[in-house]
Amino acid sequence: MPGTYTVCGSSMPKSLFKKGHSGYWAGKSRPSPSEETRKKRSESMKKYLLNNEHKGIFKKGQECKSTPFYKGMIPWNYSGKTPESKRIRNSKEYQLWRKAIFERDDYTCVWCGVRGCYLEADHIKSFSLFPELRFAIDNGRTLCRECHKKTDNYGWKARWGKK
C-alpha cells in the first residue's frame, strides 16, 4: 500500500497509479451509455444551463452548431453577421483587384524595388475612408511589408491620424 503525505495539515494517500500507467480503460473499448442514460444526461444538462446562473450568458432556445456542449444555445454577444470589411476583403472582386495590382507592378515593391518577399496590395486612398475607390486599379500599389508600415494609411493610422 502506498504511503501518505501531508497537505495543508491533513493526511492524503499517495497516488495508486505509477508514472506511465494509462488507466483502467487502456486498450479496451469503453461501453457506450444506453439511450435512457443519454436522455437523462441531456435533460440534466438542459436544466443546468437554463437555470438562473446562465440566463445572462445564453439566450433560451436559439441554435448553436459550433459547440456540442452548449448545443441549442448561442452566446449573448453573437450577432451572426460578418463585418462588411471582412466580406469585401474575402470577395472574388477584391482578390481580382489585388492580382491586377501585383501584375501591373510586376510583383515588385514600388518604393524599394524588392522582389521575392511578402508583398501587400496597398490602397493609396484608404479602404475605409474612400469606399468608392476600393476596387479602382489606379488607387492601388504593391508594397513590401516594411514599406507598407511606413505609409500614412497603414492599419489604424488613417482613422486616427497617427504617423
Average pLDDT of the chain is: 77
Residue 1 or 151, more confident: 151
User: Do 61 and 118 belong to one domain?
Assistant: no
Q: Residue 19 pLDDT > 90, yes or no?
A: no
Distance CA 12, CA 6 (A): 6
Q: What sign does the dihedral 112-114-118-121 (CA atoms) show?
A: positive
pLDDT for the residue 48: 73
User: Do 88 and 153 belong to one domain?
Assistant: yes
Q: Residue 70 pLDDT > 60, yes or no?
A: no
pLDDT for the residue 1: 45
pLDDT for the residue 29: 74
113 backbone φψ class: left, alpha, beta (φ>0; ψ -120 to 50): left
User: Do 91 and 52 belong to one domain?
Assistant: no
**What is the number of structural domains in the chain?**
2
Which of these three, 80, 111, 144, is where a domain ends? 80
Is residue 23 included in any domain, yes or no?
no
Q: Classify residue 9 by burial, with Cβ atoms within 10 Å: 0-12, 13-18, 19+.
A: exposed
Which of 14-28, 61-75, 136-150 has the least mean pLDDT? 61-75
Which of these three, 18, 46, 80, is where a domain ends? 80
Distance CA 29, CA 85 (A): 49
Which of these three, 80, 111, 139, is where a domain ends? 80
pLDDT mean over 71-86 = 73
Range of the structural domain that residue 43 is part of: 34-80
